[in-house]
């Protein structure tokens, strides 16, 4: 296996990937790629061992983007979804060196392949985590935070964003009063803990309007929709 980090493509400044489509910047009305944790609580040491933070080479400080550790080995390159635009907002990074797994560094289990059930997470408690800002346009957190949000239906999310179907089968939405992912959390994990206590990576922080704005859910890349794509790039993973 190789060491991969899943992350949101739109904010990969260090990799010179920009939130543009066909040479134009995406409108903020529909896509705000500054997405981080609002209304969160501090994550205890080792509680989210799969959480990854991306830091620009040669710099110190808080991560500019999140990610999830899903497998382990080494290689140095990037694999972007071939049909990335506003949709297909998922990518993989192979690290130059393997991660050393231990009590505080571990893998997260990927959601099983499911192309059709877009409302599978409706009503489910989802945990989103990251080092992003704690309010829209606010300061970035210097500690890892997490917040519980609740999955909503695709129809409800489409109605909120007036997308007329723009929230597609590869996306899932979640919200809770005063809680959301926000600036700096992009690419980070949204997990659902299964019946035996195992966190399952169900979503990747993608976009939203503001952070924790009333009547606007956060939008996440639906991992189950892309499981076959991930496996085709890295092989079978835990």
- What pLDDT does 10 receive? 28
- What pLDDT does 60 receive? 66
Rounded Cα distance, 34 and 207, in Å: 7
- What pLDDT does 39 receive? 57
Average pLDDT in the chain? 76
- Where residue 73 falls among pLDDT bands split at 50, 70, 90? low
pLDDT at residue 149 greater than cutoff 60 = yes
- What pLDDT does 137 receive? 64
- What pLDDT does 25 receive? 21
Pairing of strands 180-182, 189-193: unpaired
Rounded Cα distance, 71 and 114, in Å: 20
- Cα dist. 43→37, 56, 67, 141 in Å? 12, 23, 16, 12
Rounded Cα distance, 187 and 31, in Å: 14
How do residues 162-221 score in pLDDT, each as one tens digit?
A: 766 789 999 999 999 888 888 777 888 999 999 999 999 999 998 888 888 888 899 999
- What pLDDT does 234 receive? 85
How do residues 102-114 score in pLDDT, each as one tens digit?
A: 988 999 999 999 9
Choice between 8 and 190, residue whose per-residue pLDDT is larger: 190
Please state the domain extents for the chain: 4-234
Q: How far is Cα of residue 123 from the mean position of the Cα atoms in its chain?
A: 19
Domain 4-234 has CATH 3.40.50.300: no
Q: Is the pTM of this model over 0.85?
A: no
Choice between 66 and 187, residue whose per-residue pLDDT is larger: 187
- Where residue 95 falls among pLDDT bands split at 50, 70, 90? confident
Closest Cα partner for 111 from 187, 234, 204?
204
The least confident of 76-80, 128-132, 158-162, 221-225 is 76-80
């Amino acid at each position: 296996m190789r060491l991969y980090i899943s992350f949101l493509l739109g904010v990969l400044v260090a990799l010179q990937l920009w939130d543009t489509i066909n040479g134009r910047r995406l409108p903020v009305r529909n896509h705000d790629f500054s997405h981080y944790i609002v209304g969160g609580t501090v994550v205890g040491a080792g509680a989210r061992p799969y959480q990854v933070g991306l830091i620009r080479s040669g710099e110190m400080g808080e991560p500019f983007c999140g990610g999830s550790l899903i497998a382990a080995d080494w290689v140095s390159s990037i694999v972007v979804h071939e049909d990335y635009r506003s949709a297909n907002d998922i990518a993989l990074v192979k690290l130059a060196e393997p991660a050393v797994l231990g009590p505080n560094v571990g893998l997260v289990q990927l959601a099983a392949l499911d192309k059709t059930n877009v409302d599978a997470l409706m009503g489910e408690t989802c945990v989103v985590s990251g080092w992003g800002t704690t309010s829209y346009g606010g300061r970035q957190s210097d500690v890892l935070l997490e917040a519980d949000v609740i999955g909503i239906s695709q129809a409800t999310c489409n109605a909120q964003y007036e997308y007329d179907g723009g929230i597609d089968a590869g996306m899932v939405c979640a919200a809770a009063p005063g809680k959301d992912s926000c600036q700096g959390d992009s690419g980070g994990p949204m997990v659902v803990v299964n019946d035996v206590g195992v966190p399952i990576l169900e979503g990747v922080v993608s976009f939203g309007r503001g952070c924790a704005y009333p009547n606007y859910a956060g939008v996440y890349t639906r991992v189950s929709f892309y499981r076959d794509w991930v496996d085709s790039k890295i092989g079978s993973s835990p």
